[in-house]
Amino acid sequence: DSGVTQTPKHLITATGQRVTLRCSPRSGDLSVYWYQQSLDQGLQFLIQYYNGEERAKGNILERFSAQQFPDLHSELNLSSLELGDSALYFCASTDGYEQFFGPGTRLTVL
């Protein structure tokens, strides 16, 4: 158990819908990363937050947005979902030395 929690574990929804994925970092970690892993694209970095502020942006689509709240949990919002958005979404937190991944949310878009 890494100490990073993600909810929900699985999510099945239809095209065009909007979902919110939630991540709670390890206690004391200020930084949260979001990743998408699909079979054809591998692991892709989406976005990083540090203490509530966006720190770095990767291959995140305009339909996706994220934020980090004062209690340091983070949410990834995915809207106008397409079939190709089906993937595992991981978040990770870091203490500045190591990075700890959550168990992931498997999103299936039908």
Partner 1 sequence: EDKVVQSPLSLVVHEGDTVTLNCSYEVTNFRSLLWYKQEKKAPTFLFMLTSSGIEKKSGRLSSILDKKELFSILNITATQTGDSAIYLCAFISNDMRFGAGTRLTVKP
Which positions touch partner 1 (CB under 8 A)?
2, 33, 42-45, 48, 56-59, 88, 90, 97-104
Closer of 72 and 105 to partner 1 (Cβ):
105
Closer of 43 and 83 to partner 1 (Cβ):
43
Residues 6 or more apart whose Cβ sits within 8 Å of residue 72: 24, 25, 29, 30, 32, 51, 52
Least separation in angstroms between residue 34's CB and partner 1 is 11
Chain-centroid distance, C-alpha 20: 9
Closer of 1 and 17 to partner 1 (Cβ):
1
| DSSP one-letter code for 24 | E
Least separation in angstroms between residue 15's CB and partner 1 is 26
The two three-digit tokens of residue 109, written as one number = 């878009």
